[in-house]
Amino acid sequence: MNLSKLLNNINILEHSNIRDINDIDISNITFDSRDCTKNSMFIAVNGTEVDGHKFIASAIDKGAEVIIYEEDIPAQKGNQEYIEEDNIVYIRVENSRLALAVIAANFYDNPSYKLNLVGVTGTNGKTTIATLLYQLFTSLGYECGLISTIANYIGRDIYATEHTTPDPIALNKLIHNMVEKGCEYCFMEVSSHSLAQDRVSSLSFKGAIFTNLTHDHLDYHKTFAEYLRCKKLLFDHLDKGAFAITNIDDKNGEVMLQNTKASKYTYSLRAAADFNVKIIEQTLDGNLLKINGTEIWTRFIGKHNAHNLAAVYAAATLLGVSKDETLTAISGLKAVSGRLEYIKGGDGITAVVDYAHTPDALENVLTTLKGIKTKGNLIAVFGCGGNRDKTKRPEMGVIAAKYADKVVVTSDNPRHEDPDLIIKDIKDGMDKDARRKSLFITNRKEAIRTALTIADKNDIVLIAGKGHEDYQIIGDTKYHLDDKEIIKEFFKD
């Protein structure tokens, strides 16, 4: 692409060696110097772990001809001082993260403007809502895209994902490919990290949905106020032609709408709202709901899923699907992988796998299961991730012991932390009574098998924290570990 087009909407503070930008063509853009080739543009981003400015010389060595930067260019190349070459164009900007997002969108011809992009943000429920909207619109015959924690979809084709929200280059390339495939809609999870890091700043959203805000990611955001501010950015940047949907049962729900230009809509289980839902009946097989006055049977259980379906109903109707068509489609939707997914054993034990890894999510799942079971015990297996927010660990220990009859505390992606010390952090939040009904087993497979072994007929065993994940991260290595596989193997024995 011509450099002049790439720099559209970029605020240039200063530049050097810049020639007629209409004569410069760029074939590759990157923020990783290792990916530079001939005719590349390298955007030096000061990241959370690595400062891209330190790799400018390396990028030039590999063929970069245009350098976007915001800080002083280091004068060292390893131990060898390097001299700026006359043919290298240097462009200084105020914020290279934001510049990266804009340049990435320009490079792929601003694909988000060519389909209906709906973003879902919040602590819990993002994956479920985005995936169900993808399922719903696909079932109605539309070509759709999905960007989520579990997987990315372009039409019916599935692609692996590493982050909830990809980096700006990968993100715009993905949406561009959706447009090329003929997708009319794209539903995506929008993480607080991506909002804080300007990954989605160049995208045009047709609508946004807020689920809830609870204790999570304070290892990154440091304060709850900052976490809230980042989530709110999605709504602050909406245009007046977009819609903003928020959960007013969450105390932060109306905060999201305070500065938005978009049309505002609310959903609730408790208060008067634009979209109301009421739980009439719930079993392990599903919920009977009343959505805006109409009863509908769904395959989802729990109050949190009633909220999720209200958001799905709101978004679908605001995107132009008739109310009756939306309700019919919702009744056919299936649970998302690893979200209250249950496996029944021949001995009368039911195992439930769920991604719940925050205090609020764990409480939601436990209270749901506690409300459904009529006899037998509720056993909870869970852990907390390493190198993540430590303050939620004791809180989750308290919650598990409050609602479960028996608790098994174990590992959940310890990463670079000692898993036994993580378990100790959880244990420290539990009083003597809570510890008395708890087991502490570091090996996750052993913990799951132990919980199933001590379960009796009619017991429900919740295995929380990993859901769809089929790995355990120890150090920097991912080892295969699938909670569902372990359960199925146990029931076969």
pLDDT in tens, 13-34: 988 876 667 788 999 999 999 9
And the tokens for 120? Answer: 């879902």
pLDDT for 201: 92
Q: CATH 3.40.1390.10 occupies which residues in the chain?
A: 3-106
Please answer whether residues 404 and 439 qualify as being in contact, where contact means their C-beta atoms are separated by less than 8 angstroms.
no
Size of the chain in residues: 493
CATH superfamily, with its number, for domain 108-331 = Mur-like, catalytic domain (3.40.1190.10)
pLDDT for 493: 82
Closest CA to 291 of 251, 331, 250: 331
> Is residue 165 very low, low, confident or very high in pLDDT (cuts 50, 70, 90)?
confident
Q: Which long-range contacts (CB under 8 A, 24 or more apart) does 138-143 make?
A: 139/329, 139/332, 140/321, 140/325, 140/329, 142/184, 142/185, 143/181, 143/182, 143/183, 143/184, 143/185
Instruction: Give the range among 260-274, 309-323, 335-349 with minimum mean pLDDT.
Output: 335-349
pLDDT for 82: 45
Chain mean pLDDT for the chain: 92
Secondary structure (3-state) at 214: coil
Amino acid identity of residue 23, one-letter, is D
Work out the number of other CB atoms within 10 angstroms of the CB of residue 155. 16
Please answer whether residues 137 and 144 qualify as being in contact, where contact means their C-beta atoms are separated by less than 8 angstroms.
yes
And the tokens for 280? Answer: 């009439």
| Cα 207 from Cα 320, distance rounded (Å) | 12
Q: Taking residues 188-205, what's their average pLDDT?
A: 93
pLDDT for 71: 87
CATH superfamily, with its number, for domain 341-492 = Mur ligase, C-terminal domain (3.90.190.20)
Residue 65 CB-density burial (10 A; 0-12 exposed, 13-18 middle, 19+ buried): buried
Alpha helices (H) in 237-372, listed in sequence order: 303-318, 323-331, 359-372
Please answer whether residues 387 and 415 qualify as being in contact, where contact means their C-beta atoms are separated by less than 8 angstroms.
yes
* pLDDT, greater one: 493 or 430: 430
Closest CA to 100 of 34, 166, 49: 166
Q: Taking residues 42-62, what's their average pLDDT?
A: 90
> Is residue 220 very low, low, confident or very high in pLDDT (cuts 50, 70, 90)?
low
Q: Give φ, ψ of 434 to 5 degrees.
A: -65, -40
> Is residue 100 very low, low, confident or very high in pLDDT (cuts 50, 70, 90)?
very high
Instruction: Give the range among 9-13, 68-72, 129-133, 215-219 with minimum mean pLDDT.
Output: 215-219
> Is residue 219 very low, low, confident or very high in pLDDT (cuts 50, 70, 90)?
low
Quote the percentage of the chain above a pLDDT of 90.
82
And the tokens for 303? Answer: 């109050």
Q: Taking residues 198-225, what's their average pLDDT?
A: 82
Listed in sequence order, the residues at least 6 apart from 265 whose beta carbon sits closer than 8 Å to its beta carbon are 243, 244, 245, 246, 274, 275, 314, 318
Residue 223 CB-density burial (10 A; 0-12 exposed, 13-18 middle, 19+ buried): exposed
Closest CA to 42 of 121, 103, 118: 103
And the tokens for 375? Answer: 């006899």
| Cα 270 from Cα 13, distance rounded (Å) | 51
Tell me: pLDDT of 83 over 70: no
| Cα 441 from Cα 428, distance rounded (Å) | 15
pLDDT for 222: 61
Q: Taking residues 386-411, what's their average pLDDT?
A: 96
CA atoms within 13 A on the CB side of 401: 22
Tell me: pLDDT of 416 over 90: yes
Q: Give φ, ψ of 50 to 5 degrees.
A: -130, 140
Q: CATH 3.40.1190.10 occupies which residues in the chain?
A: 108-331
CATH topology of domain 3-106: 3.40.1390
Q: How far is CA 400 from the centre of its chain?
A: 24
Closest CA to 311 of 205, 240, 210: 210
pLDDT for 78: 42
Q: Taking residues 325-349, what's their average pLDDT?
A: 93
Q: Taking residues 373-397, what's their average pLDDT?
A: 92
DSSP string, 181-214: HT-SEEEEE--HHHHHTTTTTT---SEEEE----
Amino acid identity of residue 29, one-letter, is I
Q: Where do we find the tokens 């009619």?
A: 458
> Is residue 74 very low, low, confident or very high in pLDDT (cuts 50, 70, 90)?
low
> Is residue 203 very low, low, confident or very high in pLDDT (cuts 50, 70, 90)?
very high
pLDDT for 462: 97
Distances 416 to 48, 209, 387, 396, 423 between C-alpha atoms, Å: 17, 34, 7, 21, 14
And the tokens for 385? Answer: 């991730």
Kind and range of the H or E run holding 449: helix 444-454
> Is residue 72 very low, low, confident or very high in pLDDT (cuts 50, 70, 90)?
confident
Q: Taking residues 299-304, what's their average pLDDT?
A: 92
DSSP string, 275-308: EEEEEEEEETTEEEEEETTEEEEES--SHHHHHH
| Cα 333 from Cα 166, distance rounded (Å) | 26
And the tokens for 185? Answer: 């809609």
Q: Give the bridge partners for 382, in sequence order.
A: 409
> Is residue 371 very low, low, confident or very high in pLDDT (cuts 50, 70, 90)?
confident
Q: Taking residues 405-419, what's their average pLDDT?
A: 97
Would the CA dihedral through 4, 10, 12, 16 be positive or negative?
Answer: negative
> Is residue 372 very low, low, confident or very high in pLDDT (cuts 50, 70, 90)?
confident
> Is residue 144 very low, low, confident or very high in pLDDT (cuts 50, 70, 90)?
very high
Q: Taking residues 257-285, what's their average pLDDT?
A: 96
